[in-house]
Amino acid sequence: MGEIRIPSDVALIVSILYTDDLMFEAATKELYREFGKGIVLNFSAKFDFTNYYDEELGSPIFRRFWRSESLFKRELLAEVKLKTNDIESRFSIHNKRRFNLDPGFLSAENFVLATTKNYTHRIYLRAGIFADLTLIYKGREFKPLDWTYPDYASQEIRELLKSEREIYLKRLREGRNVSL
C-alpha cells in the first residue's frame, strides 16, 4: 500500500481576456476582493489564437494574467472557478461577458485549468467543474499535450509559466506556503 502524502499548495493564476481596459481593472479588483492580494504578471498580448470570443467580447481581445500572492490548496480549484464564473456573470450585460476569467493552478509538475466543459481527458471535480491538465513540466520546460489550447501551447505563455514556476518553487523553499 502506498503512503498517503498531501501535495504542496499551488499558485493560483487567472487568465483575463478583455477588450476594454476599464473591464480589465474591474476584473482585477474583483480578483483581489475574492482571493486576496495578487499581482498582474508582466505579460500582455493581443489574443489572436481564435475568434471564439469575438462575438461575445468584441475585438481586439487582449490577455493578461493575475497571480495570487497566497498559495492555495489544489482541492479548491472548483470553488475558485465557481467564484470567477460569478464575477463574470455580475459584470455581464444581456448575457454577454465583458471579460473572461480562466483560473488555473501552477505546481512544480504541471499547469491545470478549471473548466465547465467535459471532455475525454478532463477530470470531474464537483458542482459542474472539471480539471484540465493543460501543460506538464518535463525536461526543464512546460510541454503542451495533444489537447492543450493553442494559446497555452504558445512559447510565450509557456515561458511566462516557467518563470512563475521558479517564483513558486522559491516561495515553497522559503516556507511562504500560506494558503487561502
Q: What residue segments make up the domains of the chain, in order of their start?
A: 10-173
The single-letter code of the amino acid at 160 is: L
For 70, phi and psi rounded to 5 degrees? -95, 150
For the segment 40-96, what is each residue's pLDDT rounded down to a tens digit?
A: 887 766 666 677 888 888 888 999 999 999 999 999 999 999 999 999 999 999 999
For the segment 123-167, what is each residue's pLDDT rounded down to a tens digit?
A: 999 999 999 999 999 999 999 999 999 999 999 999 999 999 999
Give the model's confidence band at 8: pLDDT under 50 very low, under 70 low, under 90 confident, else very high: very high
Please give the pLDDT value at position 44.
64
Q: CB under 8 Å to 6, separation ≥6 — which residues?
A: none
Range scoring the smallest mean pLDDT among 12-16, 43-47, 81-85, 98-102: 43-47
pTM of the model: 0.92
Cα distance between residue 155 and residue 45, in whole Å: 13
> Environment class of residue 80 by beta-carbon count within 10 Å: exposed (0-12), middle (13-18) or buried (19+)?
buried
Which run of H or E residues covers position 35? Answer: helix 21-35
